[in-house]
Amino acid sequence: MSTRQASVERRTLETRISLELNLNGSGQAEIGTGIGFLDHMLTALAKHARFDLRLQCEGDLEVDDHHTAEDCALALGQALDQALGERRGIARFGSAYAPLDEALARVVVDLSGRPCAVVELGLTREMIGEIAAENLTHVFVSLAMAGRMALHVDLLRGQNDHHRAEAAFKALALALRQAVALDGSSGVPSTKGVL
């Protein structure tokens, strides 16, 4: 079984990322991406998943927010995948609803080893803070691809895009908390014998 911890260093011509993840944490987060709203969402994710997460990114924000948002999600997904190791003894599946005032989100996750993302946020604003709304969807998709998970995100209702996005990240956190939980077995939760 893995230590359920991982460190990722990602260096490209567009971003420089240093990330540490502990799945057995208490929700401590130290996030610095240069994008305030993304920091807010990743802090909420760590808090409610009860992951300890340290993520620092220097990105080409003079270009726009895309590379930073994408690469932070890829690094986090890679760390999650590494921390899970062979994925022995985990619940594998998780689902959660999370409200934020008038907004309600549902997230279902399967740590199957097969990446797939279906994300329906229904955001109407072009930007939330300093991040393009479309890049919030891209964060979920990139996380699912690098984390090798099936991820379904549905915003069921809500008018305020800040609330809608935050409800989705909190629902993701709660679903991941369930899925990564140790269930007392030593086997891989799959009829295939591998995830």
- Residue-wise pLDDT for 47-101, tens only, equals 999 999 999 999 999 999 999 999 999 999 999 999 999 999 999 999 999 999 9
Residues 139-160 have pLDDT tens digits of 999 999 999 999 999 999 999 9
Instruction: Please indicate, yes or no, if residue 191 is contained in any of the structural domains.
Output: no
Which CATH number characterizes residue 45's domain? 3.30.230.40
Instruction: Please indicate, yes or no, if residue 187 is contained in any of the structural domains.
Output: no
- Domain ranges, residue 115: 5-180
Instruction: Please indicate, yes or no, if residue 42 is contained in any of the structural domains.
Output: yes
Instruction: Please indicate, yes or no, if residue 155 is contained in any of the structural domains.
Output: yes
Question: What's the domain count of the chain?
Answer: 1
How confident is residue 2, by pLDDT bands cut at 50, 70 and 90?
low
DSSP string for residues in 115-134 = -EEEEE-----SEETTEEHH
Q: Which helix (H) or strand (E) holds 85?
A: none
Of 180, 183, 182, 162, the closest CA to residue 172 belongs to 180
Q: DSSP label at 90?
A: B
Instruction: Please indicate, yes or no, if residue 186 is contained in any of the structural domains.
Output: no
Instruction: Please indicate, yes or no, if residue 75 is contained in any of the structural domains.
Output: yes
Instruction: Please indicate, yes or no, if residue 41 is contained in any of the structural domains.
Output: yes
